C-alpha cells in the first residue's frame, strides 16, 4: 500500500466543496419569503428633486409658527409654540441633526443603490444615500425582524421594505423625536413612517405617510417627485463638530406659554388667522378654506415674503443717477 | 483506501463544522439581539453589558471572566426571574450589586440576589455578592430595621461610599460610580461602564415618566437638572462622524436604551416644565391652578406629570425668599 500523502490542494478542494454544501443547506433553510425577495423594479441611480409645492418648506423654511396642514393635537401644538429657534444652538444639540423625515421635507436630490447579499445574490436592502444633514436610510428587504422594544432608537430608524406590484413600500420604526416642520413642529420617538416609491421610467414618486400617536391626530402625508439624473448625486454627509453659537451649556431657550412673539406672523403677513396657522387635522382639507373665507382679510400693502416662489424678493436696485 | 477515508472524513468534519457554525452564528445573533425569557426581557446593549427589564427598574449586567456585576437588584419578588435571566447571560457568579438608589424596585432583591452570588472577598464580608451604594442608601435601608416590610440586614450595602466618585475594575473594565447629591434622592448613583461606553442613569432619568423628585429623601429639582447635565458630560455624542456611530449608550431607570440625544431632550423637558412652574408661581398661581394649567401638557408620553409638577412647586416654594 502506498504511503499516505497529504495534498494541500485536495484539502482546499474538500473545504470549498463542503462550504458549498453548507451554503446550499443554509440557503435551503432560509424562509420561503426571503427567497422570493426578487427586485421588481430597479430604483438605483441618481434622482433630482422636482421642487414644486414644497419649495417654501424646503429652501429658506416656512414662516415661524406656520403649522397649517399639520394634524397637530393640543400637545403637539403646545410643544411647537414653545419652540425657540435658539434651542438648536444648545451646545448639546448642535450635532443632533435630523431624522429620515428630513429626506421628505428637505431640498435634496437622492441617490439609491442596492445592497446585495453575497450568499443569496438577492437585494438584501435598498439604500437611500444620506446627504448633507440627513442620514442614509437602509430599507431591509431580507425579512429581518424588528428590533425589540428595549432597543435604542437611532437617527436612521429601522426600515423594512416589501414590494407590492411595482411599488416599494418601506416601513420605518425606532425613530428619534425630530423636526416635523422647520417652523417648530416636532414628532415624537413613537413615530412610524410609511414610504412608497414608484418608478415610472425616468420619474420616481416618493409618498410619505407619518403617524405619531403622541403629537398627531391623523396621518400626515407628503410627497416628492424626482427625475432621473445623469449627474451622480454625492453621497457624502457632513461631519459635525460643536462650536459656540451664543447659547451656554445647560441653557434651554424656549418660549413660556403665551409668550411666543412669532405666533401671529401668518396673520400679519398673509392675513391668515391663528385657527388656521396653528394647524390641526381640519386644516389639511380643502373644505377648511370655505370656513375661513368669511374671516379672511386681504392684507394691505405689497407682499414681501414668499409671494410667489418661496424666495424672498431681491433687494431693490438702486437707480443710476439721472435715470 | 486510507487516502479516501481520510479525505472523506475531512469533508464530513468540515461540513459538520460549517453547519454547526452556521447554526451557532444564528443562535448567537439571536441571543445578541434579545435573549428570550418568559418574564424578563434581556437586551445586549454593547460588548459586555446587557439590560434586563420587566420587573420594575431596569437592571444592567456587566459580564466577563471575573463574574457578573449587576446594577440594581430589582424587587424581592422578582429574584428568581432575575437570576434566571442572569444565568442565560453568564454562568459565572454575581460578584457585585451596585444600587443606584434606595427604592424598593432597585434594592428589594438585594438580599436574595446577593445570596446567590459570591463575593471576591473573604469573610467577614462574604460569602454573598458585595453590594455598593452611596452612604445614604445604606442609612435609609438600615432605618427600616424592625419595621414591617423592612429590608433584611443581609440586603444592606456592604460597601457604602461617601465620595463624589468611586470605581471598580472588573472584567477588564473600569466601572465609574458617581454620586448625584440631590436628584431623585440624595443617594443616587450613575454608573459608567467606561470601556463599553454605556452609562446607567438610575433614578436620574426615566424614559417613560417625569423624574420622581423625592423631596423627603433629599431630592430636588435643581439637583435633578444638575444630574442630567452631569449625565450629558458622561454621554458623548458621536461627533464628528455622526452618521457612522451612535455615541454612548444611556440606560434609563425605566424604558428603552437611549443615547445623548434623548438625554438632551429629557433635560430640556425638565427645565422647560420647571421654568414654566416658576413663571406661574410668579403670577401668584396656586398649586391647584398650576396643575389645572398643566405646564407638562406638551409631553403626554411621560407619566407622573402631576407628581413632578407638585414636587417642583413644593421645592421652589420652600426655596423662595420669604
Give me chain A's average pLDDT, please.
Answer: 81
Domain ranges of chain B: 1-33, 34-319
- Cβ contact (<8 Å) for B240 and A214? no
Which residues in chain A have Cβ-Cβ distances shorter than 8 Å to B275? 252, 254, 256
Q: What is the pLDDT of residue B126?
A: 64
Positive or negative, the CA dihedral A92, A94, A95, A96 is positive
Residue for grid cell 435633578: B224
| A239: chain B residues, CB-CB within 8 Å | 239-242
CB contact under 8 A, A21 and B43: no
pLDDT of residue B123: 66
Segment A224-258, tens digit of pLDDT: 999 999 998 887 777 889 999 999 999 999 999 99
pLDDT-based confidence at A11, cuts 50/70/90? very low
Can you list the alpha helix ranges (DSSP code H) found in chain A? Answer: 8-29, 32-35, 55-58, 74-81, 101-105, 265-270, 274-277, 287-293
Distance of CA A262 to the CA centre of its chain: 26
Handedness of CA A90, A96, A101, A104 (dihedral sign): positive
The helix or strand, by DSSP H or E, that contains position B279, with its residue range, turns out to be helix B260-282
Find the CB nearest B34 among A19, A148, A241.
A148
Helix (H, G, I), strand (E, B) or coil at B214: coil
What gap in Å lies between CA A250 and CA B258, rounded to an integer?
19
What is the CATH number that goes with domain B34-319? 3.60.15.10
pLDDT of residue A183: 86
Write the ipTM. Answer: 0.84
* Residue length of chain B: 322
Residue B254 has pLDDT above 70, yes or no: yes
Look at A22 and B22 and tell me if their CB atoms are within 8 Å.
Answer: yes
Query: Which of B239, B262, B301 is nearest residue A242 as measured by Cβ atoms?
Result: B239
Q: Of A214, A167, A239, whose CA–CA distance to A71 is shortest?
A: A214
Distance between first and last Cα of chain B: 102
pLDDT tens digit string along A150-197?
999 988 899 999 999 999 999 999 999 998 988 889 999 999 999 999
Say which of A10, A26, A176 has its CB closest to residue B261. Answer: A176
Mean pLDDT of A22-43: 53
**CB-closest option in A95, A152, A252 to B249:** A152
B247 burial level (CB within 10 Å; 0-12, 13-18, 19+): middle
DSSP state string for A93-146: TTT----THHHHHS---EEEEEEE-TTT-SEEEEEE--BBTB--EEEE-S-PPP
What 3-state DSSP class applies to A56?
helix
* pLDDT at B119 exceeding the cut of 70: yes
Within a 10 A sphere around the Cβ of A119, how many other Cβ atoms?
A: 11
Confidence of residue B127 (pLDDT cuts 50, 70, 90): confident
Question: Which cell is A180 given?
Answer: 416635523
Chain B CB contacts of A214 below 8 Å: 300-301
Q: What is the pLDDT of residue A32?
A: 44
What is the pLDDT confidence band of residue A54, given thresholds at 50, 70 and 90?
low
Q: Do A155 and B6 touch (CB under 8 A)?
A: no
Instruction: Please name which of A158, A137, A113, A124 lies closest in space to residue A30, comparing C-alpha atoms.
Output: A124
In the predicted structure, residue A5 carries a pLDDT above the cut 70 = no
CA distances A31 to A207, B8, B25, B225, B314, Å, are 30, 31, 17, 50, 59
The answer to whether the Cβ–Cβ distance between B1 and A1 falls below 8 Å is yes
Given an 8 Å threshold on Cβ–Cβ distance, is B279 in contact with A256?
yes
Query: Which is nearest to B210 in space by CA: B251, B291, B266, B289?
Result: B266
Best CA proximity match to A26, nearest among A38, A36, A35 = A35
Pairing of strands B94-98, B130-134: parallel
N- to C-terminal Cα separation, chain A: 113
Entry pTM = 0.84
Mean pLDDT of B179-208: 97
Average pLDDT of the segment spanning A260-273: 89
Amino acid at each position: 500500500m502506498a504511503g499516505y500523502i497529504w495534498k494541500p490542494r485536495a484539502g482546499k478542494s474538500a473545504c470549498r466543496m463542503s462550504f458549498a454544501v453548507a451554503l446550499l443547506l443554509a440557503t435551503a433553510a432560509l424562509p420561503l419569503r426571503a427567497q422570493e425577495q426578487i427586485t421588481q423594479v430597479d430604483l438605483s441611480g441618481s434622482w433630482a428633486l422636482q421642487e414644486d409645492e414644497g419649495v417654501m418648506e424646503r429652501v429658506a423654511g416656512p414662516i415661524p409658527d406656520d403649522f397649517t396642514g399639520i394634524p397637530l393635537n393640543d400637545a403637539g401644538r403646545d410643544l411647537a409654540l414653545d419652540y425657540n429657534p435658539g434651542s438648536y444652538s444648545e451646545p448639546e444639540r448642535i450635532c443632533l441633526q435630523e431624522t429620515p423625515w428630513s429626506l421628505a421635507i428637505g431640498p435634496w436630490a437622492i441617490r439609491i443603490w442596492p445592497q446585495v447579499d453575497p450568499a443569496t445574490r438577492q437585494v438584501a436592502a435598498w439604500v437611500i444615500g444620506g446627504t448633507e444633514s440627513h442620514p442614509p436610510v437602509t430599507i431591509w428587504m431580507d425579512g429581518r425582524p424588528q428590533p425589540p422594544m428595549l432597543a435604542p432608537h437611532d437617527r436612521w430608524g429601522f426600515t423594512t421594505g416589501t414590494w407590492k406590484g411595482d411599488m416599494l413600500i418601506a416601513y420605518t420604526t425606532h425613530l428619534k423625536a425630530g423636526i416635523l416642520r422647520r417652523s417648530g413642529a416636532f414628532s415624537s420617538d413613537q413615530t412610524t413612517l410609511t414610504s412608497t416609491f414608484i418608478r415610472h421610467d425616468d420619474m420616481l414618486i416618493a409618498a410619505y405617510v407619518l403617524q405619531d400617536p403622541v403629537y398627531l391626530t391623523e396621518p400626515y402625508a407628503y410627497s416628492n417627485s424626482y427625475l432621473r439624473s445623469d449627474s451622480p448625486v454625492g453621497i457624502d454627509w457632513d461631519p459635525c463638530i460643536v462650536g459656540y453659537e451664543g447659547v451656554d451649556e445647560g441653557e434651554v431657550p424656549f418660549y413660556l406659554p403665551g409668550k411666543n412673539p412669532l405666533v401671529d406672523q401668518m396673520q400679519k403677513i398673509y392675513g391668515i388667522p391663528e385657527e388656521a396657522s396653528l394647524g390641526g387635522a381640519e386644516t389639511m382639507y380643502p373644505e377648511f378654506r370655505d370656513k375661513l373665507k368669511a374671516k379672511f382679510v386681504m392684507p394691505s400693502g405689497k407682499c414681501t415674503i414668499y409671494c410667489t416662489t418661496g424666495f424672498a424678493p431681491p433687494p431693490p436696485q438702486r437707480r443710476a443717477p439721472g435715470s | 483506501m486510507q487516502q479516501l477515508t481520510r479525505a472523506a472524513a475531512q469533508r464530513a468534519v468540515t461540513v459538520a463544522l460549517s453547519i454547526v457554525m452556521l447554526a451557532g452564528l444564528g443562535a448567537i445573533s439571536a441571543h445578541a439581539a434579545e435573549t428570550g425569557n418568559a418574564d424578563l426581557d434581556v437586551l445586549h446593549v454593547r460588548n459586555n453589558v446587557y439590560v434586563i427589564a420587566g420587573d420594575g427598574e431596569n437592571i444592567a449586567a456587566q459580564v466577563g471572566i471575573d463574574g457578573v456585576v449587576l446594577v440594581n437588584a430589582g424587587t424581592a419578588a422578582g429574584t428568581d426571574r432575575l437570576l434566571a435571566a442572569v444565568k442565560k447571560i453568564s454562568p459565572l457568579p454575581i460578584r457585585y450589586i451596585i444600587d443606584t438608589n434606595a427604592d424598593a424596585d432597585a434594592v428589594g432583591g438585594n438580599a436574595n440576589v446577593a445570596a446567590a452570588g459570591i463575593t471576591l472577598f473573604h469573610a467577614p464580608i462574604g460569602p454573598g455578592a458585595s453590594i455598593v451604594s452611596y452612604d445614604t442608601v445604606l442609612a435609609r435601608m438600615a432605618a427600616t430595621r424592625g419595621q414591617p416590610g423592612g429590608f433584611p440586614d443581609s440586603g444592606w450595602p456592604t460597601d457604602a461610599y461617601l465620595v463624589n466618585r468611586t470605581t471598580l475594575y472588573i472584567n477588564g473594565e473600569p466601572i465609574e460610580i458617581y454620586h448625584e447629591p440631590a436628584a431623585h434622592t440624595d443617594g443616587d448613583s450613575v454608573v459608567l461602564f467606561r470601556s463599553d461606553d454605556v452609562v446607567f442613569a438610575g433614578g436620574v432619568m426615566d424614559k417613560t415618566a417625569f423624574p420622581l423628585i423625592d423631596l423627603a429623601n433629599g431630592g430636588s429639582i435643581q439637583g435633578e437638572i444638575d444630574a442630567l447635565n452631569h449625565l450629558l458630560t458622561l454621554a458623548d455624542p458621536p461627533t464628528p462622524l455622526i452618521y457612522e456611530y451612535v455615541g454612548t449608550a444611556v440606560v434609563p431607570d425605566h424604558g428603552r436604551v437611549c443615547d445623548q440625544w434623548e438625554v438632551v431632550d429629557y433635560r430640556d423637558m425638565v427645565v422647560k416644565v420647571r421654568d414654566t412652574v416658576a413663571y406661574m408661581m410668579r403670577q401668584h398661581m396656586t398649586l391647584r391652578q398650576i396643575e389645572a394649567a398643566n405646564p407638562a401638557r406638551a409631553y403626554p408620553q411621560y407619566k407622573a406629570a402631576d407628581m413632578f409638577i407638585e414636587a417642583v412647586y413644593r421645592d421652589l416654594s420652600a426655596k423662595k425668599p420669604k
